[in-house]
Chain A
Amino acid sequence: MMDLNTIWFLLVGVLIIGYAILDGFDLGVGVLHLFARTDQERRIHLNAIGPVWDGNEVWLLTGGGALFAAFPVVYATVFSGYYLALMLLLAALIFRAVSMEFRSKVESSRWRGFWDWAFGLGSLLPAVLFGVAFGNILRGVPVDAQHMWTGSFLGLLNPYAILIGVLSLCLFTMHGAIYLAMKTEGELRDRVAAWIPKSWMATMGLYLLATIATIFVSSFLFAGMLKNPLFWVLFLLLLAGALYIPVATKAQKYGRAFIASSLTIACMIGLSALSLFPRLVPSITDLNNSLTIYNASSSQMTLSTMLVIALIGMPLVILYTVVIYRVFKGKVVITGESY
């Protein structure tokens, strides 16, 4: 039987994966928005994600809340440590959120142009920063024996973390391109679909590079992996998902390609989580100082109370997420209610 700390490691992982899959395509659409050509095309971008992006972002908020509740030491140490990076991320997410709503309200090309940039950069910056943050976690962050942060903002921008940042940018761009291909038709779809092979190649190449780099930067992550059956399951699923994306794209089965790229994202994060476990945040100065699911967690009482909340709430969340995606399935139609 799994202990509560492990269950919460899994649940926080599920929230992060849910966020990466769902808001991942929103961010990808935002990046592609920078390359759109006409106002009509841009409106289709915005309306492809319009009814759902807000719910998708909730996965991030809930992830933050769950992290606070289950592992408050991680929440406090990492967020105060990443202070300036997090402020930039929040500022970017603010611009992304309001740009969609504001853009459609005034029909001047300068106004719309400004919000197009805000939307694009407000998506691109988080797509990179999430990867940079993740890369730093994999690399290990500077915390001492008292779990106090000893690093600096510029220390976060190391080559390894930037590599992971570029990887996440390419991954989300691919994911967003597949989503858009699914939601559009005709010439626009052809142009969007052309992004899929390009971003797929980049993602695969960078993932390979990142894996090799990880061996040098954080060899501890590989300890015992090859003997772990779960590692092989995730690895084979990742391989299957990643290889199926170009196949499905070529056959113009974008729905299937989307499932494959969602699987790819889930397995990439899953593999990282598996290799971190039971650590949540390794310490780069001394691995013994790492924040783990045991030394950084809330009390058993809180973890079990929170589990009840999750067991009641998450089935509801999944239910209405499915319902809402079903209502808005199919190609984008611009109506009077649209952005």
Chain B
Amino acid sequence: MDAVLLARLQFALTVGFHFLFPPVTIGLAWLLVVVELLGWRKKDEIYVRVGAFFAKILGLTFAVGVATGIVMEFQFGTNWAQYSKFVGDIFGAPLAAEGVFAFFLESGFLGLYLFGRNRVSKGVHWFSCLMVAVGATISAFWIIVANSWQQTPAGFVVRNGRAELTSFSEAVFNPSTVIRYLHTVDAALITGAFFMAGIAAYYLLKQREMEFAKRAMRVAVVFGLIVSLLELMPFGHEHARQVAHTQPEKFAAIEGLYANATGAPLVFFAVPTTKPPTLHANIEIPGLLSWLAFGDPAAPIKGINEFPADQTPPLWLTFVSFHNMVVLGIYFILVMAIAAYKLYRKTLWGSHGFLRLLVISIPLPLAACQLGWIAAEVGRQPWIVYKLLRTSEAASITVSAQEILFSIVLFGLIYLCLGVLYIFLFVRKVKHGPAPVGAKEVVA
């Protein structure tokens, strides 16, 4: 098989699997900041138990996230050596900054947070939780900076056969960084909220740990409703507008706009087929896409046919992943809105069907994260850096297809095991439940 295709598969596997864990970590960390603050300031022992329990889930998730993240730091060099040489002058800096500003902070304070509950004061303990959340969120910033530079490169000049930095601030705050950052971090917060709400729902259904579960549920639902709404408006909307202005090929692909249109419709549902690219069974509102993207229902938008065939991304995958992400985003708002309403009407604790829905919704934000990431990265193709370097020119020349295949099999097996073990330990931990009230900490 083709070495570049294998290198892409390898990258998709390792980064896709890794990306299952940081959203949970970031989301749960911020929820824990809220929960631990309530426990500390209100002197509420039950909130403290919620904190201690979800801290264990955080620790488990963090460990797998760190383990799979190590690979990411090195794999630009191993698999994408030509890319690394071409963009190293710019792309390396955010990765190093992530280490210096974020990793030390989050990993150092995570140790203090997980192991230091009885060693430091309550205030310092809460502060260490805050620093874990801040560190994880800064980490996301530098990664989004690096990835956004691939989408909308800025602050550089091509010289000496490579991209050389001319303005660090322009490279960091390139046209897509800020909105993509807000969109991604908010997705992580939604993920955390659904984790906490789903676990609380499980206890409510089992009629166990009721006070514990009610407190966790209240925090998760209020938090979850706010962040789910923000994800659509303004973050999702503004991000789509940014793509429309800076990466029109990607925009046409994800929206399913295959021919030029004035007053382009917003397609809610369609079945895409290829050769030629067509949408079937469309449900759409005419003019809405033009209005959303350019503020004018009659605004012309370039269709995919406007662009040279060797500069357009795969159409089917981008359309399907983007649209399913949007559907999930709307689902999250509905679920959290219903939950908030039931909470307000005091009927949530007894709504068994709805609680069951919350339990099975736990993994859905992760699916949305993956779909959004696929839309973003596949939508950038055939470029590894938009309009600057093709993916096909970026892989390592000295690494053979067999070697890459070996690493795919190696990491495929390891990640399969890690995934199964993570779910096993997660379910076990939830079934086991929080530590009993007043349990003496010292075991030996």
Grouping DSSP codes into helix (H, G, I), strand (E, B) and loop, the B interface class, with mixed when no group exceeds half, is helix
Q: How far is the CA of A57 from the CA of B77 in the complex (A)?
A: 19
Task: Tell me whether A86 is interfacial, beta carbon within 8 Å.
Answer: yes
Q: Are A68 and B76 in contact (CB under 8 A)?
A: yes
Q: How far is the CA of A102 from the CA of B64 in the complex (A)?
A: 10
Complex interface residues of chain A between 61 and 99 (CB less than 8 A to chain B):
61-70, 72-73, 75-84, 86-87, 90-91, 93-95, 97-98
Q: Which residues of A have CB within 8 Å of B410?
A: 87, 91
Task: Tell me whether A302 is interfacial, beta carbon within 8 Å.
Answer: yes
Q: How far is the CA of A151 from the CA of B403 in the complex (A)?
A: 14
Q: Are A62 and B66 in contact (CB under 8 A)?
A: no
Task: Tell me whether A336 is interfacial, beta carbon within 8 Å.
Answer: yes
Measured CB to CB, the closest approach of chain B to A100, in angstroms, equals: 7
Q: How far is the CA of A137 from the CA of B310 in the complex (A)?
A: 42
Contact residue among B74, B88, B414 (Cβ-Cβ distance under 8 Å from A69): B88
Q: Are B70 and A93 in contact (CB under 8 A)?
A: yes
Task: Tell me whether B136 is interfacial, beta carbon within 8 Å.
Answer: no
Q: Which of A25-33, A243-251, A308-316 contacts B (4 or more CB under 8 A)?
A: A308-316
Measured CB to CB, the closest approach of chain B to A176, in angstroms, equals: 18
Task: Tell me whether A338 is interfacial, beta carbon within 8 Å.
Answer: yes
Q: How far is the CA of A338 from the CA of B444 in the complex (A)?
A: 10
Q: Which of B160-168, B205-213, B241-249, B358-366 contacts A (4 or more CB under 8 A)?
A: B160-168
A309 touching B100 in the complex, CB below 8 Å, given contacts A51-B111, A337-B114: yes
Measured CB to CB, the closest approach of chain A to B388, in angstroms, equals: 16
Task: Tell me whether A334 is interfacial, beta carbon within 8 Å.
Answer: yes
Q: Which of A212-220, A225-233, A319-327 contacts B (4 or more CB under 8 A)?
A: A319-327
Q: Which residues of B have CB within 8 Å of A149?
A: 398
Complex interface residues of chain B between 103 and 123 (CB less than 8 A to chain A):
103-105, 107-112, 114-120
Measured CB to CB, the closest approach of chain A to B77, in angstroms, equals: 3
Chain B residues within 8 Å of chain A by Cβ, number: 77
Q: How far is the CA of A301 from the CA of B164 in the complex (A)?
A: 8
Q: Which residues of B have CB within 8 Å of A309?
A: 93, 96-97, 100-101
Q: Are B111 and A301 in contact (CB under 8 A)?
A: no
Measured CB to CB, the closest approach of chain B to A79, in angstroms, equals: 3
Among residues of B, the one whose C-beta sits closest to the C-beta of A64 is B73
Q: Are B111 and A55 in contact (CB under 8 A)?
A: yes
Cβ contacts A106-124/B at 8 Å (1 or 0 each): 1000000000000000000
Task: Tell me whether B48 is interfacial, beta carbon within 8 Å.
Answer: no
Complex interface residues of chain A between 285 and 322 (CB less than 8 A to chain B):
298-299, 301-302, 305-306, 309-310, 313-314, 316-317, 320-321
Q: Are A76 and B112 in contact (CB under 8 A)?
A: no
Q: Are A84 and B443 in contact (CB under 8 A)?
A: no
Measured CB to CB, the closest approach of chain A to B105, in angstroms, equals: 7
Q: Are B115 and A105 in contact (CB under 8 A)?
A: no
Q: Are B104 and A321 in contact (CB under 8 A)?
A: yes
Task: Tell me whether B60 is interfacial, beta carbon within 8 Å.
Answer: yes
Complex interface residues of chain B between 55 and 77 (CB less than 8 A to chain A):
59-60, 63-64, 66-71, 73-74, 76-77
Among residues of A, the one whose C-beta sits closest to the C-beta of B116 is A327
Name 8 extra pairs, CB < 8 A, besides A51-B116, A148-B398, A298-B92.
Answer: A65-B96, A73-B85, A80-B396, A83-B398, A301-B168, A320-B104, A327-B112, A327-B120
Q: Considering the complex of A and B, which 6 residue pairs feature the smallest CB-CB distances, nearest first?
A: A72-B88, A62-B99, A79-B77, A69-B92, A313-B100, A68-B92
Binding site for A on B (CB under 8 A): 59-60, 63-64, 66-71, 73-74, 76-82, 84-85, 87-93, 95-101, 103-105, 107-112, 114-120, 164-166, 168, 396-399, 403, 406-407, 410-411, 414, 418, 421, 425, 428-429, 435, 439-444
